[in-house]
Amino acid sequence: MIASVVFYLLAAATLAATLLCITRTSPVHAVIYLVHAFFDLALIFYLFGAPLVAAWEMIIYAGAIMVLFLFIIMMLELAPGGKPLTVDRRRWIPVLLLSLVTLGCTVLLIVLDPAAAGSGAAFHASPREFGTALFDRYALAVQVVSFQLLFAAVGAYYVGKGEPRARGDNP
């Protein structure tokens, strides 16, 4: 029963984080909130018995993609104006609140290890089971996706490589 409560808490946290992410004027803040939302999502995935997916969520989404966003934002100096990132009490309250909620849920989850909860047959996909499914039934899909990633890499390289011609000429 605790698990349901935790889910609703996490869901609320995610929604709030996303909402805040959308409404920020500065992209950096938005990215930060989004990272926050992805952490909560990872927890939810874990809650649904998908530990591998939760881990990947943390690694790929929060880790790789959002960092890339942040990097791009920083590179393109999109931060609004030259105003220094002063600590503004009013702005950090929502962040603190959200962090607390997330922290609380994590602690609860750690304490109530579902395996131990044994509240009925909550579905739990062990990595073994996940691995066999991935490479047994979806072997082909994996290859395709890998190709896709290759193309993306080549594409990104090509688009990124073009040295900027005279500014403002129409493509």
Partner 1 sequence: MIVPFAHVLIFAAILFVMGLGCVLARRNLIMILIGVEIMLNAAAVALVGGSAHWRQVDGQVFVVFLMAMTSAEVAISLAMVVYLRRRRGTLEADKFDGLRG
Q: State the residues that interact with partner 1 by CB under 8 A.
A: 3-4, 7-8, 11, 14-15, 18-19, 21-22, 27, 30-31, 34, 37-38, 41, 44-45, 47-50, 52-53, 56-57, 60-61, 64-65, 68-69, 72-73, 75-76, 78, 119, 122-123, 125, 129-130, 133-134, 137-138, 141, 145-146, 148-149, 151-153, 155-157, 159-160, 162, 164-165, 167-171
Report how far residue 70's alpha carbon sits from residue 31's, in angstroms, rounded to the nearest whole number.
7
Are residues 114 and 49 in contact, defined by beta-carbon separation less than 8 angstroms? yes
Q: How many CA atoms lie within 13 A of 95 on its CB side?
A: 16
Q: Find out whether 52 and 111 touch, Cβ atoms under 8 Å.
A: no
46 vs 87 by CB, closer to partner 1: 46
Nearer to partner 1, 84 or 120 (CB): 120
Q: Distance between CA atoms of 75 and 60, rounded to whole angstroms?
A: 21
Comparing CB distances to partner 1, the nearer of 89 and 111 is 111
